[in-house]
Amino acid sequence: MNMADPPRTVLISGCSSGIGLQLAVQLAHDPRQRYQVVATMRDLGKKGTLEAAAGEALGQTLTVAQLDVCSDESVAQCLSCIRGGEVDVLVNNAGVGLVGPLEGLSLATMKKVFDTNFFGAVRLVKAVLPGMKRRRQGHIVVVSSVMGLQGVVFNDVYAASKFALEGFFESLAVQLLQFNIFVSLVEPGPVATDFEGKLLEQVSAAEIPGADPDTLHYFQDLYLPASRELFRSIGQSPQDVAQPYKMETLRTSPAHK
């Protein structure tokens, strides 16, 4: 990137914690100031940690905005606050988890997972894509998961939502190359975050109506302890996933994983 070039506008969803927060802060602190970061979250009541981590970058190379990826109106409102409504790099990071025996999961809950993890990403892409096509440049980064490549026991619905992302964006990437728009799928393994810890705590204490005793034993006595140990022993940190050099590689490479 030429030093005379204007900074690239980077819109990131799901920045209240974890990967989104770390990526937003690291890009905003780029010593060459190549990025103007719009860090978004559904609940602005949770912005304190992000603002503290941003430090002097807040209001300079980083702004915080409200964005609910499940709402067309919220997406439109967020983009209207961006100068010219132009987004150079879109990072689809917002997501929710869901763990547990299938018998204990309602269809309404499953739909909420897909509305955030899959349709939320699609909704944002549909909003920024016309501008990217018109300018014939852009980059769409999708934070998927290793569970978008391989299913994991008791993560049926979450994995399905990530598989859907993989199929959708792999297909879309081919179409967008002619517009000089790149698509990147990022597929982290276990990432140790407060979000993951709280999710495991909640399901540990939850009642699971309808599940048979053998399944409950498998989930509560085998799966949950193994999951905690997995995240404790080999879990990556959000900082590991959000390293700026990785973002730079994504920004300049063709559609890839």
Closest by CA position to 246, among listed 27, 4, 33: 27
**Considering 35, 158, 218, 223, which one is annotated as catalytic?**
158
Per-residue pLDDT, averaged over 216-245, amounts to 78
236-251 per-residue burial string, b: 16 or more CB within 10 A, e: under 16: eebeebbeeebbeebb
Q: For residue 70, what pLDDT band results from cuts at 50, 70 and 90? A: very high
Whether the predicted pLDDT of 5 surpasses 50: yes
Question: C-alpha 234: how far from its chain's center?
Answer: 21
Q: Indicate if the pLDDT at residue 226 is higher than 90.
A: no
State residue 84's pLDDT score: 78
- When pLDDT is cut at 50, 70 and 90, the band that residue 196 belongs to is low
* C-alpha separations of 139 from 149, 158, 209 in Å: 22, 25, 44
pTM of the model: 0.87
pLDDT at 252: 41
What's the chain's average pLDDT?
88
Cα separation of the two ends of the chain: 22
**Amino acid of residue 136:** R
Examine the pLDDT at 205 and tell me if it is beyond 90: no
Q: For 82-136, what is each residue's pLDDT tens digit?
A: 987 899 999 999 999 999 999 989 999 999 999 999 999 999 999 999 999 999 9
Answer yes or no: is pLDDT of 145 > 80: yes
For residue 223, indicate whether it is catalytic. Answer: no
User: Phi and psi (nearest 5°) for 136?
Assistant: 55, 45
Which range, 31-35, 190-194, 197-201, is most confident?
31-35
Q: Which of 161, 163, 149, 235 has the alpha carbon at shortest distance from 200? A: 235
In the chain, % of residues over pLDDT 90: 68
Per-residue pLDDT at 239: 72
Please give the pLDDT value at position 245. Answer: 45
Length of the chain: 257
Q: What is the mean pLDDT of residues 13-33?
A: 94
Q: What is the dihedral of CA 159, 161, 77, 64, to 10 degrees?
A: 10
What residue has token string 């290793």? 146
The pLDDT of residue 250 is 47
For 30, 32, 53, 242, the CA distances from 20, given in Å and listed in that order, are 16, 21, 12, 8
pLDDT exceeds cutoff 60 at 232: yes
pLDDT for the residue numbered 3: 53
The sheet with strand 8-12 has its strands ordered as 62-66, 35-41, 8-12, 89-92, 138-143, 181-186
By mean pLDDT, which of 156-160, 170-174, 205-209 is the weakest? Answer: 205-209
Per 3-state DSSP, what percentage of the chain is helix, strand, and coil (rounded to 5)?
A: 55, 15, 30
Proportion of the chain above pLDDT 70, given as a percent: 88
